[in-house]
């Protein structure tokens, strides 16, 4: 991974949340990078720590939650940044969109106001110039008659339109990195497809990097360049999308892919992963996935396997990385 | 189109006040006559002979059967005549016209002080929730809520008025500044009581809003904390508070009756107390109707403000 300088380089990110039952170590030593213009998928079951990772990158956590490690963005460590530096970065150079636009948009402010407050804070635009730009942004995200819709409230938009509006808000500051937290999960399939196409188009047009958090490998396959698989707060595997789908190098990735419905001739019985997400307060010794893993052996149970390079541009935290079957072979067999 | 719908709604609501008004008229008319004693004995004292009492009652029209009296009351009212005060011998309407501005001034002043106390303290309690700051603010107002208005009034009067001499112990003063100065203690009395009610609701709605996803989104947009607090948090959290404030206007006017008596303020509250003791039927009736109209109008205003603050509201 001695690639060109990354736009974002996360090293050993840890997030701890105190709860009455004990401190939850929600994100455990996560390390990954995002190249300029790259679309990285962060995939995992709910509770795997993927959304928490995004929020930690954005500096949205406050005490008693603690975040440690380094988050280097454009050469600056955000976790050690001053409030002024954060102000110039959060929402400005890094934008974020949420899963449920109905609850992420303020119900009592017009969509126009919610775009224009961004333009004012980060671009210094106000008055007519701000309104013009806000309409342009709505137009960019494919909202018809954008000028008239500036005065509408979020509840007057349809689900898909609301998600477009939220994207327009996040794009107002022309961010270099967009964090998208399950942006299509709340939408029906056709709208989901439109929003994903929109993100791809915007990535091209604005040369943004995107981190897309999702639990849906189908979404990753459709949009991302690279993928990072999370489980129990740790990265299990990072790989280019095509390589991961052909040859998963982690037993958990393999399990995820096998539980995915294929299409047409590739139809094979679904193989769900037995068991449920791990309890972060009582993690097993060694690999967190081992209790559910078909390949688990004594080697998995000692120390937690580190994420190590297994091929050019690929890393895995699986003891059995080399022994896993390739999926194309299995399907044709 | 929206504006047109609003004026239609306002007209409908105003028309709805009429039946309320009629019901209040009937109840008040009967209630005052259920009070033990009657105007004649109140005017004439204990030792008046039955003969004189009967003559006075005839002069006042109180010897007529109740339906006749009521019909006369309604008939006069339709002509904008609330009758004359029995003890003061002047038209009730003029009395109310003179005294009402004093009470309205006091009520608005008290509401302003109440909000001025409640909003920052509720926000502070919400932001520092479950700390000693929160516990202190909630504790103080919990105690305040359980103390009767007259008790708080007397304590403020004794301490800040009589002992420290910072504020006058009664009267209305002259000019706006004079009113503000003279009415400070009574307005504070009522304001504290109101704030105690508002702080609880406002604190919990601020907590609810602070943890809402749209506030997290606002933070992710990199907006300044002050803008987030005012535009995104307070703007939403105040919506239920406005409704609560409107609902408490009746209580505030009720409190004004007691407060005006303690602080010797020439408002309608004191007029009401005097009228009740003097069995001054026309004044009691006139004042109650006035209160009913004020409360109805405030409710209407509250609904309109609510619709303005929350665009999801549908007025119908």
**A249 interfaces chain B, CB cutoff of 8 Å:** no
Domain assignment present for A157: yes
Same domain, A198 and A301: yes
Domain assignment present for A199: yes
Q: What is the pLDDT of residue B5?
A: 62
ipTM above 0.90?
no
Q: Of the candidates B114, B100, B273, which has an alpha carbon nearest to the alpha carbon of residue B189?
A: B114
Domain assignment present for A98: no
Same domain, A188 and A280: yes
Which of the listed residues A149, A168, A187 is the one where a domain comes to its end? Answer: A168
Which of the listed residues A121, A146, A168 is the one where a domain comes to its end? Answer: A168
Same domain, B97 and B73: no
Q: Are A111 and A138 in contact (CB under 8 A)?
A: yes
Which of the listed residues B78, B110, B129 is the one where a domain comes to its end? Answer: B78
Q: Please report the number of interchain residue pairs, chain A to chain B, with beta-carbon separation below 8 angstroms.
A: 77
Same domain, A134 and A22: no
**Distance from the B250 Cα atom to the nearest Cα atom in chain A, whole angstroms:** 28
**A61 interfaces chain B, CB cutoff of 8 Å:** no
Cα gap B70→A269, rounded to integer Å: 86
What is the number of domains present in chain B?
2
Same domain, B154 and B97: yes
Helix (H, G, I), strand (E, B) or coil at B222: coil
- pTM here is 0.80
Q: Taking CB atoms and an 8 Å limit, are A118 and B221 in contact across chains?
A: yes
Same domain, A158 and A187: no
Collect all residues of chain B within an 8 Å Cβ-Cβ radius of residue A169: 221
What is the number of domains present in chain A?
2
pLDDT tens, chain B, 316 aa long: 455 567 888 888 888 888 888 888 889 888 888 877 777 777 777 777 778 778 877 777 777 888 888 888 888 888 888 888 888 888 888 989 988 988 888 999 999 999 999 999 999 999 888 899 989 998 888 888 888 877 877 787 787 777 777 877 777 777 777 777 778 888 888 888 889 889 999 999 999 999 898 999 998 898 888 899 999 999 999 999 988 988 888 888 888 888 888 888 888 888 888 888 888 888 988 898 888 888 888 888 888 888 888 888 877 6
Q: C-alpha B99: how far from its chain's center?
A: 14
- Percent of chain A residues past pLDDT 70, beyond the cut: 95
Collect all residues of chain B within an 8 Å Cβ-Cβ radius of residue A89: 222
Distance from the first to the final alpha carbon of chain A: 34
Q: Tell me the two tokens of residue A320.
A: 């059995």
- What residue numbers bound the domain in which A114 lies? 109-168
Q: Taking CB atoms and an 8 Å limit, are B217 and A104 in contact across chains?
A: yes
Q: Are A100 and A39 in contact (CB under 8 A)?
A: no
Cα gap A102→A140, rounded to integer Å: 20
Domain assignment present for B37: yes
Same domain, A163 and A180: no
Same domain, A65 and A138: no
Same domain, B116 and B243: yes
Same domain, B41 and B150: no
Nearest beta carbon to residue B212 from set A95, A103, A122: A103
Q: Taking CB atoms and an 8 Å limit, are B221 and A155 in contact across chains?
A: no
Dihedral sign from CA coordinates of B23, B25, B31, B34: negative
Q: Per residue in B16-44, is it b (16+ CB within 10 Å) or e — as a string?
A: ebeeeeeebbeebbeebeeeeebbbbebe
Q: Of the candidates B256, B253, B239, which has an alpha carbon nearest to the alpha carbon of residue B302?
A: B239
């Amino acid at each position: 991974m001695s690639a060109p300088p990354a736009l974002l380089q996360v090293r050993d990110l840890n997030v701890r949340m105190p709860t009455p039952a004990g401190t939850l170590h929600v994100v455990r030593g996560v390390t990954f990078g995002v190249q300029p213009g790259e679309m990285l998928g962060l995939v995992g079951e709910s509770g795997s720590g993927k959304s928490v990772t995004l929020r930690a990158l954005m500096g949205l956590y406050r005490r008693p939650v603690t975040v440690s490690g380094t988050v280097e963005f454009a050469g600056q460590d955000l976790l050690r940044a001053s409030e002024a530096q954060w102000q110039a970065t959060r929402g400005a150079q890094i934008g974020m969109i949420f899963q449920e636009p109905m609850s992420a948009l303020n119900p009592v402010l017009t969509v126009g106001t919610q775009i224009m407050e961004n333009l004012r804070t980060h671009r210094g635009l106000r008055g007519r110039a701000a309104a013009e730009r806000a309409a342009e942004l709505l137009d960019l995200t494919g909202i018809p008659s954008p000028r008239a819709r500036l005065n509408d409230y979020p509840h007057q938009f349809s689900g898909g339109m609301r998600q477009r509006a939220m994207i327009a808000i996040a794009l107002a500051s022309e961010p270099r990195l967009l964090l998208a937290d399950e942006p299509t999960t709340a939408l029906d399939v056709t709208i989901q497809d439109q929003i994903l196409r929109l993100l791809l188009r915007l990535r091209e047009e604005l040369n943004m990097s995107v981190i897309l958090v999702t639990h849906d490998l189908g979404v990753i396959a459709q949009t991302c360049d690279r993928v990072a698989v999370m489980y129990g707060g740790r990265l299990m595997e990072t790989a280019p999308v095509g390589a991961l789908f052909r040859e998963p190098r982690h037993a958990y990735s393999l399990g995820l892919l096998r539980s995915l419905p294929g299409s047409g001739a590739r139809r094979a019985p679904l193989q769900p992963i037995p068991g449920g997400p791990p309890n972060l307060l009582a993690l097993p010794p060694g690999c967190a996935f081992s209790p559910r893993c078909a390949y688990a052996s004594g080697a998995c149970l000692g120390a937690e396997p580190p994420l190590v390079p297994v091929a050019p541009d690929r890393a895995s935290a699986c003891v059995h990385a080399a022994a896993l079957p390739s999926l194309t072979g299995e399907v044709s067999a | 189109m929206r504006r047109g719908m609003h004026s239609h709604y306002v007209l409908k609501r105003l028309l709805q006040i009429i039946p309320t008004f009629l019901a209040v008229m009937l109840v008040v008319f009967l209630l005052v006559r259920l009070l033990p004693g009657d105007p004649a004995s109140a005017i004439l004292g204990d030792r008046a002979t039955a003969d004189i009492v009967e003559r006075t009652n005839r002069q006042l029209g109180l010897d007529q059967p109740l339906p006749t009296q009521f019909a006369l009351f309604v008939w006069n009212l339709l002509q904008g005549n609330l009758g004359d005060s029995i003890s003061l011998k002047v038209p009730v309407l003029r009395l109310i016209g003179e005294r009402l501005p004093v009470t309205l001034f006091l009520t608005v002043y008290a509401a302003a002080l109440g909000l001025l106390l409640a909003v920052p303290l509720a926000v502070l309690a919400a932001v520092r929730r479950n700390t000693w700051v929160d516990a202190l603010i909630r504790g103080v107002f919990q105690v305040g809520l359980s103390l009767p208005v007259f008790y708080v009034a007397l304590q403020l009067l004794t301490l800040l008025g009589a002992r420290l001499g910072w504020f006058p112990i009664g009267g209305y003063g002259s000019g706006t500044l004079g009113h503000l100065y003279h009415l400070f203690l009574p307005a504070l009395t009522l304001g504290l009581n109101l704030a105690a009610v508002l702080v609880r609701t406002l604190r919990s709605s601020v907590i609810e809003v602070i943890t809402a996803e749209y506030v997290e989104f606002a933070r992710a947009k990199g907006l300044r904390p002050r803008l987030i607090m005012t535009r995104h948090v307070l703007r939403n959290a105040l919506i239920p508070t406005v409704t609560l404030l409107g609902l408490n206007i009746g209580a505030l006017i009720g409190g004004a009756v007691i407060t005006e008596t303690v602080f010797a303020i020439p408002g309608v509250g004191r007029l009401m107390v005097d009228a009740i003791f003097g069995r001054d039927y026309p004044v009691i009736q006139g004042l109650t109707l006035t209160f009913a109209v004020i409360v109805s109008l405030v409710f209407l205003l509250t609904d309109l403000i609510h619709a303005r603050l929350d665009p999801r509201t549908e007025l119908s």
